[in-house]
């Protein structure tokens, strides 16, 4: 009887929907968005595939580098990636991380060490807006050291950068190194999504007040 139960269970298992939707394929993260722009769609596809295949990306030390102007959705993509990967990833706005590193010098040494270890060892470190922070002080050097350490430990990073031409020499060197291990996601031609949001707000204001703004 128990054997029959096992057989039935195994048969039900075979019929249950598979997690994969084809050989070697993994389900993509369900990130719905009203932004149907094809250029943004390309970037979205890359980041979703990266998330779905993160175990393979991790094993091969493959990172991501999102590059593009203001408002195109870089932060939106990186935050979705962080939340999908959950405790496999650490997300920081680069400037905020620098302040935390600066603050950490006054913490309990053990607490500081565990914070720095997490930065070096997390499967994925996500640094948003790299290059927007000021790299001139020792906290900046510390950030460079974390990036170097992950590089030598073969641990990937996912970063976003805005304008390469605004970076100083030190930042250019760091980003040049990262470009060797990160898949480039060029968002240069994506529309500024903030413009869409602004129009929607203006229309809503008009609908409420009757005033054109």
Ligand X SMILES: Nc1ncnc2c1ncn2[C@@H]1O[C@H](COP(=O)(O)OP(=O)(O)OP(=O)(O)O)[C@@H](O)[C@H]1O
Q: Which residues bind Mg ion (CB under 5 A)?
A: 74-75
Q: Is 190 helix (H, G, I), strand (E, B) or coil?
A: coil
Are 181 and 158 a contacting pair, CB within 8 Å? no
Strands (E), 151-203: 157-161, 182-186
Are 47 and 77 a contacting pair, CB within 8 Å? yes
Nearer to ligand X, 44 or 155 (CB): 44
How near is the Cβ of 58 to Mg ion at its closest, in Å? Answer: 24
Burial letters 152-162, b for 16+ CB under 10 A, else e: eeebbbbbbbb
How near is the Cβ of 75 to Mg ion at its closest, in Å? Answer: 3
How near is the Cβ of 128 to Mg ion at its closest, in Å? Answer: 6
Nearer to ligand X, 55 or 203 (CB): 203
Cα-based distances in Å from 164 to 12, 67, 171: 54, 9, 9
**Binding site partner of 72, from Mg ion, ligand X, none, Cβ cut-off 5-8 A by kind:** ligand X
The answer to whether residue 179 forms part of the interface with ligand X (CB under 6 A) is no
- Interface characters, 116-155, with ligand X (x: CB under 6 A): -------------x--------------------------
Q: Which residues bind ligand X (CB under 6 A)?
A: 33-35, 70-76, 129, 162, 193-194, 197
């Amino acid at each position: 009887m128990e054997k029959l139960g096992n057989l039935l269970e195994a048969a039900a298992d075979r019929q249950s929907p598979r997690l994969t939707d084809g050989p070697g394929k993994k389900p993509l993260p369900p990130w719905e968005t009203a932004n149907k722009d094809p250029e943004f769609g390309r970037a979205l596809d890359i980041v979703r595939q990266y998330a779905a295949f993160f175990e393979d990306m991790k094993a091969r030390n493959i990172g991501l580098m999102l590059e593009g102007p203001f408002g195109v959705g870089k932060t939106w993509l990186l935050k979705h990636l962080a939340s999908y990967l959950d405790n496999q990833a650490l997300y920081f706005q680069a400037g905020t991380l620098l302040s935390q590193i600066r603050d950490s010098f006054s913490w309990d040494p053990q607490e500081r060490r565990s914070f720095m270890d997490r930065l070096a060892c997390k499967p994925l470190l996500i640094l948003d807006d790299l290059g927007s922070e000021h790299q001139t002080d020792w906290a900046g050097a510390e950030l460079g050291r974390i990036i170097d350490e992950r590089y030598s430990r073969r641990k990937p990073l996912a970063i976003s950068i805005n304008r390469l031409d605004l970076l100083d020499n030190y930042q250019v060197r760091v980003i040049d190194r990262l470009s060797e291990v990160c898949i480039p996601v060029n968002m240069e031609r994506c529309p500024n999504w903030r413009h869409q949001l602004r129009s929607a707000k203006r229309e809503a204001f008009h609908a409420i007040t009757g005033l054109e703004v």
